[in-house]
Amino acid sequence: MKWLIILVLGIVIALTILAALPFASGHAEDEAAPIFGVKIPAGYRDWRLISVAHEEGTLNDLRAILGNDVAITASREGKLPFPDGTIIARLAWSYDPLEESSKAFGRLQSFVAGPPKNGIQFMVKDSRPIRLDRRLGLRSI
């Protein structure tokens, strides 16, 4: 009898997780509210790596700079300023010491990417003039 209760509970949990997956996965990229008229690009996590960086100070994080195809082409060709259509994404993780390195070397020497930090930053190159009254839904008087 006890195994039957565990089995039913397991099935209910599995069905609940499966039912919630479409909502959880689609929200971050597909249904995100646009900010200043810019929607989070679908598939940005599959973009190619442009660079990595370590930000010190109060941020103290590791960053991956990703770019869409326009950004990758411009970066490889050394085109500055970047052309219209360039989108660059910045993902960040905490910069954590690897405790095993302290044991091996007698001091902290190696650091790794820890948990992801909140927030993704995007840079979108669009040289068209911005009409703030239209973007913000204001009326001219």
Averaged pLDDT, 1-19: 63
pTM above 0.85, yes or no: no
Instruction: Read off the pLDDT of residues 126-135 as tens digits, 9 standing for 90 and up.
Output: 888 766 555 5
Buried b (16+ CB within 10 A) or exposed e, 83-118: eeebbbbbbbeebeeeeeeeeeeeeeeeeebeeebe
Nearest to 50 by CA among 68, 37, 23, 31: 68
CATH topology of domain 32-135: Chalcone isomerase (3.50.70)
Averaged pLDDT, 40-45: 86
Check residue 127 and give its pLDDT.
85
Residue 71: CB atoms within 10 A of its CB come to 24
Question: In the chain, what are the domain boundaries?
Answer: 1-25, 32-135
Instruction: Read off the pLDDT of residues 43-81 as tens digits, 9 standing for 90 and up.
Output: 888 999 999 999 999 989 999 999 999 999 999 999 999
Percent of the chain clearing pLDDT 90 (strictly above): 40
Check residue 30 and give its pLDDT.
47
Residue 18 or 107, more confident = 107
